[in-house]
Structure 1
Amino acid sequence: MDTPGISDIHLEDAYDYCEQITRNEARNFYYAFITLPMRKKRAIYTAYAFCRRCDDAVDNSESTTEKKRLLDEIENNLKSGINLDKLILENNPIILATCAIIKEFNIPQQHFFDVIQGVRMDIEFTTFNSFDEVKEYCYKVASVIGLICIKIFGYTNPKAIDYAIDFGLAMQLTNILRDILDDLNENRCYLAYEEMDKFNYSINQLRESLYNDDFIKMMKFEVDRAKRYFESGTRLLPLVDTDSRICLVILSKIYRKILKKIERSNYNIFQTDYRLNTFEKLSIMGFTWLRYKITKK
């Protein structure tokens, strides 16, 4: 960055710090990210580290007051970093690296503030009544990250924006279905109550782990919708730079496999863990990479 007193070495250290966070924390994303060329890879690591820091502010804090304080601190530090506050940039590697990629890839600053706002929604979260509310939440915690990513991946066709939004939405809907039980343990449910009512199923039945025909029909509806968003989102693939496409393919395959696992269990989330193990992720990455190399020849 062209900031007095901030050296290239300082910035490289910040990028390395973000990469380490991604290595340690990104369970699914890392296997896709490592396929990117170095310049884009370090930018994606930075975007992930920023999002991770926001999530940790909420997940690792006990009191609501402390969660809000930590998010406010991240937001204020980002504002200061964008305004080239040397003290903030020197002492906060994630903010330094984030401000650098905002400038290098011309990423709208608002995308990062939207991420913070999305995480804030989790602090005092109760329920969603309609799917429109679910979509608004998914946009702020997932789709906006897709918009950050396509600026890093590179694109020229404006249709990429809508497809990136749908791709992020598909991924977050998959996360919601995969993590229903974990979220219930945190007193959260991201399924829309209106849609549960439509299938004659209730939050109380969900808490009691009632697995019946109504639940199966509801889950099939939810999975089918996530798959439709993936169908739209994968239209993004030919619109991003060639050197970024394999990353998207791997992400799509990993998350689609989670949906397939849910289907194969006949939607019995109460007795099945849908997380992919390391071998499954490496297999997806390896076969995708091999097919990509063969296709290029």
Structure 2
Amino acid sequence: MTLTASYERCRRLHARYGRSYYLATRLLPAWKRRHVHALYGFARHADEIVDSFTMTADRAGALDALAAGVAAGLAGERVRDPVLPAFLHTVRSFAIERGDIDAFLRAMRADLSVTGYQSYDDLLGYMEGSAAVIGTMMLPILEPVHGAESLAREPARQLGLAFQLTNFLRDVSEDLARGRVYLPRDDLATFGVEEAHLRLPRTGPAVRELLAFEAERAREHYRAAAGGIELLVPSSRPCVRAALELYGGILTEIERSGYEVLARRARVPRRRRAATFVRHLLASTATGRAERLLRLEPS
């Protein structure tokens, strides 16, 4: 597996499974895009190990093998996994923290045995590894402006949490089919929701109230993330704005449907996705051109 082929493998994983974020990534300068694909490809690869409906092999063994491959690759050894050359090259290129990688892999391992979370704080502990660290791993690729590196970290975490919680609300039925409920048990009890209510073909009144409550939590994460966009270099801002709008659009579709997430999967209409992309494309082109000229100027 050559490095170029590994990056292409990651790009295809991103295009297939992360349509909203893949579309937003097209607004980045080309040299940044492949590194975002590498991080997404690695995360999706791990996610498929623990979540795929078709994989029947030893999931724990496969995840251990992936973790061992990461450790070996970081130690300078050759690796066989097709997504790892691109991922490891990106990790080295941007000095991505090993602690973030380990936290992500721990969260993936939790999915092999943990079926639910008692409180929202407990769920946040899981999402720290499954989502917040994805935001912080992306941060050096998206480039905070000089002097804003530490300030940009928390908004990056918050955007990861917002995306993850949106996924949980959209995918209640799919997650339940895998034996997991990511809605906190405390919240289920508060709204009088039992797991059996989540197995019904349609969303009932109590479940709607619960989902509306969780949707507002997601909105809080989106609001906490939005201020971080201006802390990034201009060429990365259109991508993050578009990603925020597209994922926030999934949440809007959930709300518009009356929180009917059990009967169908919420999706942003294709026309609206295209309009969002086009609206940010001009800004992306202008900022990318200005950044290229600035990088070419003699110091």
Quote the Cα distance in structure 2 between the aligned partners of 1:206 and 1:13.
Answer: 42
Q: Is the 8 A contact 2:200 2:262 kept in 1?
A: no
Cα deviation per residue 1:138-189 (whole Å; 9 max; x = unaligned)? 1111111001111111114212111111111111010000111121222221
- Aligned CA distance change for structure 1 residues 220 and 81 (closer, same or farther; 3 Å): same
What's the secondary structure of 1:128's corresponding residue?
Answer: coil
Quote the Cα distance in structure 2 between the aligned partners of 1:219 and 1:34.
Answer: 32
Q: Is the 8 A contact 2:143 2:232 kept in 1?
A: yes
Quote the Cα distance in structure 2 between the aligned partners of 1:126 and 1:166.
Answer: 24
How far the C-alpha of 1:291 sits from its partner, in A, is: 5.8
Q: 1:62 aligns with which of 56, 60, 64?
A: 56
Aligned length: 284
Q: Does 1:227 align with 2:219?
A: yes
- Aligned CA distance change for structure 1 residues 267 and 107 (closer, same or farther; 3 Å): same
Q: Is the 8 A contact 1:163 1:235 kept in 2?
A: yes
Query: Partner of 1:140 in structure 2?
Result: 129
Q: Does 1:84 align with 2:73?
A: no
Query: Partner of 1:4 in structure 2?
Result: none
Q: Does 1:281 align with 2:270?
A: no
The 10-residue stretch of structure 1 (36-45 or 274-283) with the greater mean CA deviation from structure 2 = 274-283
Q: 1:217 aligns with which of 209, 212, 221?
A: 209
The 10-residue stretch of structure 1 (177-186 or 70-79) with the greater mean CA deviation from structure 2 = 177-186
- Aligned CA distance change for structure 1 residues 25 and 258 (closer, same or farther; 3 Å): closer
Q: Does 1:131 align with 2:108?
A: no
| Unmatched 5+ stretches in structure 1 | 1-8
Quote the Cα distance in structure 2 between the aligned partners of 1:190 and 1:138.
Answer: 10
Query: Partner of 2:197 in structure 1?
Result: 205
- Computed over aligned residues only, the root mean square deviation of the Cα atoms, in angstroms, reads 2.2
Quote the Cα distance in structure 2 between the aligned partners of 1:57 and 1:213.
Answer: 35
Query: Partner of 1:107 in structure 2?
Result: 96
How far the C-alpha of 1:128 sits from its partner, in A, is: 1.0
Cα deviation per residue 1:19-46 (whole Å; 9 max; x = unaligned)? 2332333222210111111221111111
- Aligned CA distance change for structure 1 residues 198 and 209 (closer, same or farther; 3 Å): farther
Q: Is the 8 A contact 2:172 2:198 kept in 1?
A: no
Quote the Cα distance in structure 2 between the aligned partners of 1:211 and 1:23.
Answer: 31
Q: Does 1:193 align with 2:185?
A: yes
- Aligned CA distance change for structure 1 residues 52 and 210 (closer, same or farther; 3 Å): closer
Q: Is the 8 A contact 1:146 1:168 kept in 2?
A: yes
| Unmatched 5+ stretches in structure 2 | 291-299
How far the C-alpha of 1:77 sits from its partner, in A, is: 0.7
How far the C-alpha of 1:226 sits from its partner, in A, is: 0.5
What's the secondary structure of 1:28's corresponding residue?
Answer: helix
1:154 maps to a residue whose letter is: E
Q: Is the 8 A contact 1:265 1:272 kept in 2?
A: no
How far the C-alpha of 1:55 sits from its partner, in A, is: 1.2
1:149 maps to a residue whose letter is: M
TM-score (norm 1): 0.88
Q: Is the 8 A contact 1:33 1:44 kept in 2?
A: yes
Q: Does 1:27 align with 2:8?
A: no
How far the C-alpha of 1:278 sits from its partner, in A, is: 3.7
TM-score (norm 2): 0.87
Quote the Cα distance in structure 2 between the aligned partners of 1:242 and 1:258.
Answer: 25
- Aligned CA distance change for structure 1 residues 36 and 133 (closer, same or farther; 3 Å): same
2:116 maps to a residue whose letter is: T
Cα deviation per residue 1:201-259 (whole Å; 9 max; x = unaligned)? 22222223564443332221111110011000111100111111111111101111111
